[in-house]
Structure 1
Amino acid sequence: MQTQLADFIRDTPEGREAEEILRKCVHCGFCTATCPTYQLLGDELDGPRGRIYLIKQVLEGAAPTEKTRLHLDRCLTCRSCESTCPSGVHYSRLLDIGRAVVAERVPRHGGEALVRRTLREFVPRPKLFGLAMGAGRAVRGLLPKSLQDKVPTLRPAGTWPAPRHARRVIALAGCAQPAMAPSINAAAARVLDALGISMVELPGAGCCGAVRFHLDDAEGARADARRNIDAWWPDIEAGRIEAIVMTASGCGVQVRDYGHLLQHDPVYAERARRVSELTRDIAELVLAEGDALRARLGARAQPREPLAWHAPCTLQHGQRIRGTVESLLTAAGYELTPVRDAHLCCGSAGTYSILQPELSGRLRANKLDALLEGGAARIASANIGCITHLQAGTDKPVLHWIELIDSRLGPAS
């Protein structure tokens, strides 16, 4: 796609990156066929190709409008289009650049601005978020359905094994997951402990930065990244850990991108690149110990159970991890039911379910229909946002897959 960027961005790092991305696009439209919002709305401007044209026009000097911003806001950043694109167009990074320019030139006002500001200041603060979640659970029965959906019932976390192995990894606690589902990281720690790896969380680390980044606060996201790097760096530098483990696939996408996010920071660029290199989804780490896992599982009779697997967009499109969790669940005795349109987003997408509730709700209904039509009694996923969002629409239990592996392994020996 030929383009002539305007003076305000042409010779900037963002401009050079945007031009490279735009030149790869051959406007074939393959991406449109796999775009969730285009499928719902049928509007070219609510698909990747149309949004690319909108961003191109803005970067060439056209004045954006609130309508421009609306079409960009409606994008889930699910990156299904990137998995489909035959030309390797890095649409999500172009979208980040376009959204930043549009947000600066078409400021938000009133309630819309207040909601976004509240979300980016409230959600990334684990202590504050945890207090609010606790208060919400105390009065959950009195809350309207829309708020009950955001306050999941608490599952017991169980024990977290003390570090005892020579092999050691760091886990990111994150911001929302510790309050919403502390059972996830505890289950991951038990599974890894059974495989000869100790998992620890380090004080000082917090939100990965994704919340602020996707709410028009790139500098806040960079500050979150620097804080996490500072918390992890002494152990990385000393060679005390072999990986940084993500149990929320949404956080995994963000932390893997630290090298790009801080590439122009003279102090943090190299450290950020190293952190990105060390970052692993929990599925990658468990799969690497597949023989040990199968040996542990084989020592116990594993009842077969039909299970619906929902691969979060951040796992299958963002991190390009496909088939890994499926193989682990199958090894643990679960029979995965067929899921129609498994590549499509469930509608959670971080804060999307709050900012775009109508579209998000329609996507969730479609996803649950597809997940449950195979007769599964439970649903597994890999991201706290997807788990909470899907659970709000069904009475079938929705769990993190690592919790299911943990339950099959049983108590540590």
Structure 2
Amino acid sequence: MIKKLFKYTVTAAILATTIQGTPTFASPATSATQKQISATKNQIDDFETKIQQLDNRISISIETSEKLTEQIKTQQEKIVETQAEIEEAKKSLDAHKEVYSERLKSIQSEGKQSIVTYAELLLSSGNLSEFFTRFSAISNIMESDNALLKGLNEKEQALKAAEEKLNNEYDQLKKSQDQLATEQRKIEEDKKEIEKALAVAENKLQNQQDQLAQQQAQEEAQRKAQEEAQRKAQEEARRQAQLAQQQHAQPAKRQSVSNKTSLSAPSVNVSNETTSATASNVIAIAKRYMGIPYVWGGTTPNGFDCSGLTSYVFRQVGINLPRVSRDQQSVGTKISPSQVQPGDLVFRGSPAYHVGIYIGGGQYIHAPQTGDVVKISTYNPAKFTSASRVLHP
């Protein structure tokens, strides 16, 4: 009987150990799909980075276009002012020419030449003193006429030269504006091509994830089936052992040993991030605009680009940031992307083409790109170039 008990016990133990020790291997298809998903995600990250860079270029070109428009307006005003001055100069010149002409006509109507008239006026002087007085007066009149005519002519020529220069500058500004518009159209065309490729990659990723989820579900079902078989084998082993003991003639003490396996959860280092009142305000304000659409050059709640959002949010707590991300990158205290605290600005690119606000818990809020909205995303320090701390205790 002891041999029979030993036989049942050993058989059950071997059966349970065999089932328990049977490893569950991930199928090669699953492993391959995980690699494909990782590669596709990297491809999507690259496309999104390119779109953000193009969005940044468009935002900068919009700012440049606004400056050119203002310069063109100023140039037009200068041209109008100069044209008005030219007209006034022409009127003054014509008026003086008319007076001079009338004086000559008056002298000639008496059948005398102006020089002869002036000579007679001098010769009719009563004495030498009167002679010199008249001579000086006549000389001053002639010199004044000549100087005035010459001065008016020179002023007219100078104004015409200034007008020509202004027109040339105006033409150059218009040319720059046209070139900028052409560049904007090219950027938008490039962006559309990348967006098409991004859509294809995202669809591919979804298919791969669906395939992986199906494979994982199958593997989970297999695992549960193995666990169920193992449980039944262990129950059968215990039943056989109990049956053998009951059949044993001699009483035996049965000792039940319960092996408790303590599974300790992996240690997670949670950083208790504290925020200052100002940082809390910045984060709370930024969250108000979640869902606002991305708009090129947008700086208001009607639509934001990435730097438009950050500048608008910080302005509400009394901090004026530069307009574009590359200029915002030079503000505040430079810190490592891995040492950020809530309220810090985080940048991609050098010079930066994208900016957001770190909000803690491994997340940041930003206006990602066209077609998207202001939202919270996972913050991965490895994907950011730099960070700046503009809030200080």
Q: Which bracket does the TM-score occupy, shorter chain normalised?
A: under 0.3
Structure with the bigger RCO (C-alpha within 8 Å, sep 6+) is: 2
- TM-score, normalization by structure 1: 0.19
Bigger proportion of residues as helix: 2
Structure of higher CA gyration radius: 2
- TM-score, normalization by structure 2: 0.20
